[in-house]
Structure 1
């Protein structure tokens, strides 16, 4: 057992559409660009998988849904395995883009590849079931849910996502999430992670309601809040010894780029923890998407990422250091 472990968290990993087309002509690991070695060196890697893994199904048409993301599991699963993805959240607004058949293929592909997941399931109970993984002896319990696309919600014995209205004033929502957190704590894990696909696109700051909800989650035992959905990274906060990543942005995709918000830029969020789950440092490695792959950002882009993260975190009072062009937050010192 090592003295400290490095756990990586990313925003959206969208392997469909143009990414999928590009991967037909290059090795599966090419999608990780220059970040491949860094990702593979982590003890644990946790991602939001923003697509289904299938070659079957038809595009969702039951409600208005303008974008549809699907990746061929024959290359996508080996790509996820290549960098040692430890766990994937499926609680998002694209896992059902091609209907139930493609969702079932996604479950089967991940299960066949030995990649645990949470946030969607073959039944409502399974969608809400916490997942437990062990990372070099560290017991991690994970829950995942989303407030996006209610029509994708699992219902009874119907497959779908763990959908909930994320509202700190909604007693029903708090009760449902609280029950799942209680179940996740039953085995006394070293670390409890709540992954939330929440809020609208292209927002630089979380609303006050999300800040209140994140604080409530920490008060309920969560050690790391892993947020995503906005397509741009938002601020980070240390609250009562826990870490809140309000939005981890986009990690790899083929999306159109906003020239101001720069949704092609984000970070690999590395959390250094002890073997008993104590949080030490958060290291944020600036990244940029190019040619449907992810790369470590060049110096000028890395500076933009650092400055932007400082600005977006200002209201939280988060203190940053810089080391090797990375932002560092000393979680145990704030």
Structure 2
């Protein structure tokens, strides 16, 4: 073979390699082109799952206390908060929630106050809703001290719901892949039994967990309430977690939906808003998104935000088309305040 043909042959090989690498990179990145594409409302459980894809759902804040708790106790129906979204939740391989109320014996039924608790029977609703993992790293889980934390974690584990946010990861096996979850709180004061968002500890935890799992998902309870743009502290924590090897960052606490961001090829949802809570006093606090995150063997490949609106102080439902457009437009605008070129 003369030099001319060798050169042509080598050039073709290089071109093929470049195309393959470009395709791999494209498949690795979340398909975030237009937020309008996320106004996806699923009404039926999908008949089957692709064995080569793995879907994780993360919701907004779940607070089974105050008016939520009083309603389900009065109705004697602990599935009630989940009834209009259960098909969406069960379309995923796993469901992650930020559980922001201890579940304790003899919880007093009330519609008022800032000391939260929920009836032990609320575990029925979590099971009905398909919850796989709950983070207890937040500023209300400690409202009844270590007894309340232990009551909650023991109840969850008894009902086969994995727990994180107490200094230990939750590890789920989905077919041939392992997903590790870590939860941290950065609101209020440090409390025994609740994992605090300290960067050095977070990075150490991620590093150690990466040795055991295929993907690491980190959940933060952070930011300022009733704001649509993340604080500098939120961004610092998110970026530090990605730098340490996290594959996906999910956030809650502001009670409003917030920005999304791409950082070093990884996705950050700063706040999913509310999911189950009694804050009926404004449109923003009644709204949230269910984040549906799809992975393949390489990493996160697709994201869907499913808007929801809370009715009756306790029950989220899929948003209408007009409501969805409004919620997603707000996420889009706040995302552009982080990056003017962002089109999440």
Could you say if the C-alpha distance between residues 145 and 205 of structure 1 is closer, same or farther in structure 2, counting changes exceeding 3 Å? same
Secondary structure at 1:34's aligned position in 2? coil
Alignment of 1:280 with 2:313, yes or no, is no
Cα distance between partner residues in 2 of 1:258 and 1:210: 24
**Cα shift at 1:304:** 0.7
Could you say if the C-alpha distance between residues 56 and 137 of structure 1 is closer, same or farther in structure 2, counting changes exceeding 3 Å? farther
Indicate the structure whose relative CO is greater, using CA pairs within 8 Å and at least 6 residues apart.
Answer: 2
Alignment of 1:180 with 2:227, yes or no, is no
Secondary structure at 1:28's aligned position in 2? coil
Cα distance between partner residues in 1 of 2:180 and 2:67: 34
Q: TM-score, normalised by structure 2?
A: 0.79
Cα distance between partner residues in 1 of 2:170 and 2:165: 9
Q: Map of 1:147-186 to 2, 5 A cutoff?
A: 147-151=186-190, 153-154=191-192, 160-164=193-197, 173-186=198-211
Q: Of residues 108, 130, 134 in structure 1, which corresponds to 2:173?
A: 134
Alignment of 1:21 with 2:70, yes or no, is yes
Q: Of residues 44, 53, 60 in structure 2, which corresponds to 1:11?
A: 60
Alignment of 1:97 with 2:164, yes or no, is no
Paired position in structure 1 for 2:315: 293
Cα distance between partner residues in 2 of 1:79 and 1:90: 17
Question: Any idea what the Cα deviations from partners look like across 1:140-183, whole Å, max 9, x if unmatched?
Answer: 111111111215x22xxxxx21123xxxxxxxx33222211122
**Cα shift at 1:308:** 0.6
Q: Map of 1:216-235 to 2, 5 A cutoff?
A: 216-235=240-259
Q: Of residues 313, 317, 323 in structure 1, which corresponds to 2:335?
A: 313
Q: Is the 8 A contact 2:258 2:272 kept in 1?
A: yes
Secondary structure at 2:84's aligned position in 1? helix
Query: More strand per residue: 1 or 2?
Result: 1
Aligned length: 289
Q: TM-score, normalised by structure 1?
A: 0.81
Cα distance between partner residues in 1 of 2:300 and 2:172: 17
Q: Is the 8 A contact 1:248 1:266 kept in 2?
A: yes
Unmatched 5+ stretches in structure 2? 1-49
**Cα shift at 1:186:** 2.1
Could you say if the C-alpha distance between residues 26 and 96 of structure 1 is closer, same or farther in structure 2, counting changes exceeding 3 Å? same
Question: Any idea what the Cα deviations from partners look like across 1:212-270, whole Å, max 9, x if unmatched?
Answer: 331221121001111111111111112222110111111111124335xx111111000
CA RMSD between the two structures: 2.0
